[in-house]
Chains A and B, each alone.
Chain A
């Protein structure tokens, strides 16, 4: 199945809605009716029998068992464990004793880890084996859960077949003869048979047909998941992309040479010109961010992503300023005072708060910078975007929509601490089915993010190419630096 294209989504008030969610009354299955969370725990007993005896023998034994359950408790419409455990004591004993006779007492013993004497005395009386240690019971339970967590696995489909067969037996479900004939082939064929591809799909879809009529047993599910998760430990695994090992010292030297050349141009040719001041200033800021990432080997880190983001933003802003200089009088000076105005706002807040702690914002220094060339009383504070266009619109206007859409937005997730970035960088996957494969904090920094070096070089070089168009960087230097590839 191919993912839906962006254009196929509806876009209203800044929100993309998927085609499936645009259909009225269409919603995903309630969690308690999903296979993994809601149904698998109810049918885990079937999985234990199949796991114990293998598929063919297990299905055969289960045929006898579910026939017996239906005979003892005809009101049960699906063979859910919670329904069986709700039966009267003598019925429960008859069922569990029959299972113990047909299979063995040990088969369901792993479930005594969860359903204990004080809660389910009849079940425990029939299935508890004193010689089965906690560890061995845990092992069987986890092994069976692992096989059956995915709703499409062959093992889970075997369980779903038994559930479906039980519904046919109980008369809850009726199928046309041709469909019934197909379904009844299921236990006779191995999973490797070509025909089984279609039969498995039929089993899974028909098994779900009656879900609307069912009411999940919430307390049973909560109890099951709480016990099983408390009984087992997390099994975390990390994603480690290759550590950045490319040697870019030569590139950094060349980059320095370019910046040095630009500095000379500025200082020696036009030291009082606002345009070259802003352009070289932006380029230098990008260089310094890149250099910090290089000096501290931050290419595989969250901070590395922040670096790419600012390189992109600087590059887009540079192009935007140049593009609009003829339309916006004094754009170079306005750009500077837009930034200084925002500094003044921070300064004003600090003054008014009376805050005197030794924070990283140095009020006195900020005050000096704000008043550096113009008295602050003459500087306005514009809290909107510069030129009233956000970075996305600016990117579009300078034909850098892709740079924004493919990278900047992704890096913004890291900059703003949005959940995608938190999940990717700061959480590990726990490979324990009993914990529903939840995520756990990566406080030991086991995850290693993919390196941003190639993207840093790519954006930096875009900026150099742009600067070359304006100032013409000496060609051997320019060619060497822009020809650098990771």
Chain B
């Protein structure tokens, strides 16, 4: 009997990860547990080569999507439904592996309540995905794989993108030499910077750029050092997002998969960075599939998708071939990676979703 040795191992890893998180769950009540985070990190480090082998040979080039640039999926809010609507294979990029390094480098008093809350939420959410999604969503640490020596190259890409927001600033050293206050930032900034930069999901573009900056600073204060300049605040809030976008693009290009991006901030920076990667042919397909995924996420009604349960939902989207149907319908309307416009795609996606809702209700 033919068996998929590698996939069986991945399923075993999922099962071991579920047991590990269940066992560690108790340690995430109360104080931060470095030991528990270390164990999660070690778990993924031990399995890293198998994960890479799987991503390269079983996941890549198979219309696969990775849910990334989020701290957790949010199973209770039925976020697994929109994610599974698109693509044939699904990986949830596990952020837990990175917290061990982040926390060990921060003084304990700095690991504020909010970050710890994130970690606890992610552990619990991962567990729910592992327990309830029947391996339709595989949890793997894609972002751990980008911690390679090539990182410096990734950093340079981010630096280049960040510097392109300014005039007469060539690199980060230059930025910190020339900018201290927010006024300095404005002095060197490109004219259209306020249209390009997005500080957070709640960034209100009706406010002035300075007001938006101050609001974002307030929101992120818990993670930032108290005694740094406004230019440094600006750098942390913008460069962090740019670097995340670089990581997403590089991982997706490497494993030829498409990012499922829920938040518009990251989407904004990924689209901004396209120019840096424009010589990679996969990029235009990636942008198209990522935008359709995000649009689908925005439009779909999760209540209607989840109404009849997870099993029925996954069965129906397979029987219906929803993913293929969606892209065929878009193509029929002359929408593809070269012609994609949001306003034209929306009614097509809505039409496909209606068919799916009907199929769910009839069956």
In the docked arrangement, what's the CA distance between A124 and B38, Å?
11
Are A112's CB and B38's CB within 8 A? yes
Closest A-chain residue to B47, C-beta based? A230
Of the listed stretches A126-134, A380-388, A425-433, A475-483, chain B binds A126-134
Scan A102-143; emit 1 where CB is below 8 A from any B CB, else 0.
Answer: 000000000011001110000011001011011000000000
Q: Does A20 contact B (CB under 8 A)?
A: no
In the docked arrangement, what's the CA distance between A130 and B105, Å?
9
In the complex, which of the residues B33, B34, B35 has the most CB atoms of chain A within 10 Å of its own CB atom? B35
Q: Does B286 contact A (CB under 8 A)?
A: no
In the docked arrangement, what's the CA distance between A125 and B35, Å?
8
Residues of the B chain whose Cβ atoms lie less than 8 Å from the Cβ of A227: 46
Chain A contacts to B: CB under 8 angstroms = 112-113, 116-118, 124-125, 128, 130-131, 133-134, 227, 230-231, 233
Are A116's CB and B45's CB within 8 A? no
A234 CB to closest chain B CB (Å) equals 10
A334 CB to closest chain B CB (Å) equals 50
In the docked arrangement, what's the CA distance between A118 and B28, Å?
12
Are B42's CB and A231's CB within 8 A? yes
Given A113-B42, A230-B46: A131 and B104 interface contact (C-beta under 8 Å): yes
Contact check: which of A113, A128, A133, A230 meets B34 at CB < 8 Å? A128
Interface residues on B, range: 10 to 19
Residues of the B chain whose Cβ atoms lie less than 8 Å from the Cβ of A130: 34, 38, 104
Residues of the A chain whose Cβ atoms lie less than 8 Å from the Cβ of B36: 117-118
In the docked arrangement, what's the CA distance between A122 and B23, Å?
14
Residues of the A chain whose Cβ atoms lie less than 8 Å from the Cβ of B49: 233
Q: Does B348 contact A (CB under 8 A)?
A: no
Contact check: which of B24, B46, B47 meets A118 at CB < 8 Å? B24
B35 CB to closest chain A CB (Å) equals 4
Q: Does B27 contact A (CB under 8 A)?
A: yes
Chain B at the A interface: SS class: helix
In the docked arrangement, what's the CA distance between A233 and B34, Å?
25
In the docked arrangement, what's the CA distance between A112 and B38, Å?
9
In the docked arrangement, what's the CA distance between A124 and B49, Å?
26
Q: Does B159 contact A (CB under 8 A)?
A: no
In the docked arrangement, what's the CA distance between A133 and B38, Å?
9
Are A134's CB and B41's CB within 8 A? yes
Q: List 14 A-B contacts (CB under 8 A).
A: A112-B35, A113-B42, A116-B38, A117-B24, A117-B27, A117-B36, A118-B39, A124-B35, A130-B34, A131-B104, A230-B46, A230-B47, A231-B42, A233-B49
Q: Does B157 contact A (CB under 8 A)?
A: no
Q: Does B253 contact A (CB under 8 A)?
A: no
Contact check: which of B42, B47, B104 meets A116 at CB < 8 Å? B42
Interface residues of B in 27-65 (CB under 8 A from A): 27, 33-36, 38-39, 41-42, 45-47, 49
Are B34's CB and A118's CB within 8 A? no
Are A117's CB and B39's CB within 8 A? yes
Residues of the B chain whose Cβ atoms lie less than 8 Å from the Cβ of A116: 35, 38-39, 42
Are B104's CB and A128's CB within 8 A? no
Q: Does B20 contact A (CB under 8 A)?
A: yes
A46 CB to closest chain B CB (Å) equals 23
Given A130-B104, A134-B41: A117 and B46 interface contact (C-beta under 8 Å): no
Residues of the B chain whose Cβ atoms lie less than 8 Å from the Cβ of A134: 38, 41-42, 45
In the docked arrangement, what's the CA distance between A133 and B24, Å?
20
In the docked arrangement, what's the CA distance between A134 and B34, Å?
13
- 16 new A-B contacts, CB < 8 A, other than A112-B35, A117-B27, are A117-B24, A117-B33, A117-B39, A118-B24, A118-B36, A124-B35, A128-B34, A128-B35, A128-B38, A130-B38, A130-B104, A131-B104, A133-B104, A134-B38, A231-B42, A233-B49
Residues of the B chain whose Cβ atoms lie less than 8 Å from the Cβ of A124: 35
Scan B303-314; emit 1 where CB is below 8 A from any A CB, else 0.
Answer: 000000000000
Given A117-B24, A131-B104: A231 and B35 interface contact (C-beta under 8 Å): no
In the docked arrangement, what's the CA distance between A112 and B104, Å?
15
In the docked arrangement, what's the CA distance between A131 and B36, Å?
14
Residues of the A chain whose Cβ atoms lie less than 8 Å from the Cβ of B23: 118
Residues of the B chain whose Cβ atoms lie less than 8 Å from the Cβ of A113: 42
Residues of the B chain whose Cβ atoms lie less than 8 Å from the Cβ of A118: 20, 23-24, 36, 39
In the docked arrangement, what's the CA distance between A230 and B24, Å?
21
Residues of the B chain whose Cβ atoms lie less than 8 Å from the Cβ of A128: 34-35, 38
In the docked arrangement, what's the CA distance between A133 and B147, Å?
14
Residues of the A chain whose Cβ atoms lie less than 8 Å from the Cβ of B20: 118
Contact check: which of B35, B45, B47, B104 meets A117 at CB < 8 Å? B35
In the docked arrangement, what's the CA distance between A325 and B186, Å?
105
Residues of the B chain whose Cβ atoms lie less than 8 Å from the Cβ of A133: 104
B127 CB to closest chain A CB (Å) equals 13
Scan B248-283; emit 1 where CB is below 8 A from any A CB, else 0.
Answer: 000000000000000000000000000000000000
Residues of the A chain whose Cβ atoms lie less than 8 Å from the Cβ of B27: 117
A116 CB to closest chain B CB (Å) equals 4
Closest B-chain residue to A128, C-beta based? B35
In the docked arrangement, what's the CA distance between A118 and B35, Å?
9
Residues of the B chain whose Cβ atoms lie less than 8 Å from the Cβ of A117: 24, 27, 33, 35-36, 38-39
A330 CB to closest chain B CB (Å) equals 55
A121 CB to closest chain B CB (Å) equals 8
B17 CB to closest chain A CB (Å) equals 11
A426 CB to closest chain B CB (Å) equals 21
B39 CB to closest chain A CB (Å) equals 4
In the docked arrangement, what's the CA distance between A227 and B33, Å?
22
Closest B-chain residue to A133, C-beta based? B104
In the complex, the 3 A-B pairs of residues with the closest C-beta atoms, listed nearest first: A118-B23, A230-B46, A116-B39
In the docked arrangement, what's the CA distance between A230 and B41, Å?
13
A438 CB to closest chain B CB (Å) equals 15
Residues of the B chain whose Cβ atoms lie less than 8 Å from the Cβ of A131: 104
Scan B1-35; emit 1 where CB is below 8 A from any A CB, else 0.
Answer: 00000000000000000001001100100000111
A241 CB to closest chain B CB (Å) equals 31
In the docked arrangement, what's the CA distance between A113 and B35, Å?
10
Residues of the A chain whose Cβ atoms lie less than 8 Å from the Cβ of B46: 227, 230-231
